[in-house]
Structure 1
Amino acid sequence: MKLKLARTTLKAKPKTIELKKLEEELASRSIFYFDKDNSHKELKELIEYFEEKGYSVYMREVKYGLDDNEFIYEVHIIA
């Protein structure tokens, strides 16, 4: 599964990351930011994947502007 990481600027294209690469990065960090272009279903699958592996996962929307479409997803994955 590929997920889109949060954009670094408003006009940038979101970069993608494979689920396996995300799992490898858990050794160095536990908070990830994903773009609003990811579907809710994809993020639920991400949560289920890591919960099945014994991780605790917390997800929330973070607003960065006044418009309803100005948000990103913040995901905490804790061993």
Structure 2
Amino acid sequence: MKLKLARTTLKAKPKSVELSKIEEMLPQKSIFYFDRDNSHKDLKALIEHFEEEGYNVYMREVKYGLNEDEYIYEVHIVQQ
């Protein structure tokens, strides 16, 4: 499954990352920011995958502007 990481600037295109790459990055960091272009279905699949692996996963929307489409998803993946 591919997910799009949050954009670094407003005009940049989001970079894609595979689920396996996120698993590799977990020992170094536990907070990931995903772009609003990701489907809610894919984010739910991400959460379910890591919960099956024994992690606690928390997701929330973070608004960075006043417009409706100015938000990103913040996902915390924490070992139990």
TM-score bracket, normalised by the shorter chain, equals over 0.9
The answer for unaligned runs of 5 or more in structure 2 is: none
Question: Which segments of structure 1 move beyond 2 Å, counting only runs of 4 or more?
Answer: none
Deviation digits for residues 35-56 of structure 1 (CA, Å, limit 9, x no counterpart): 0000000000000000000000
Q: Identity rate of aligned residues, in percent?
A: 75
Alpha carbon RMSD of aligned pairs, Å? 0.2
The answer for unaligned runs of 5 or more in structure 1 is: none
Give the structure 1 partner of residue 20 of structure 2. 20
TM-score when normalising by structure 1:
1.00
Q: How many residues align?
A: 79
TM-score when normalising by structure 2:
0.98
Give the structure 1 partner of residue 73 of structure 2. 73
Which amino acid is the alignment partner of residue 20 of structure 1?
S
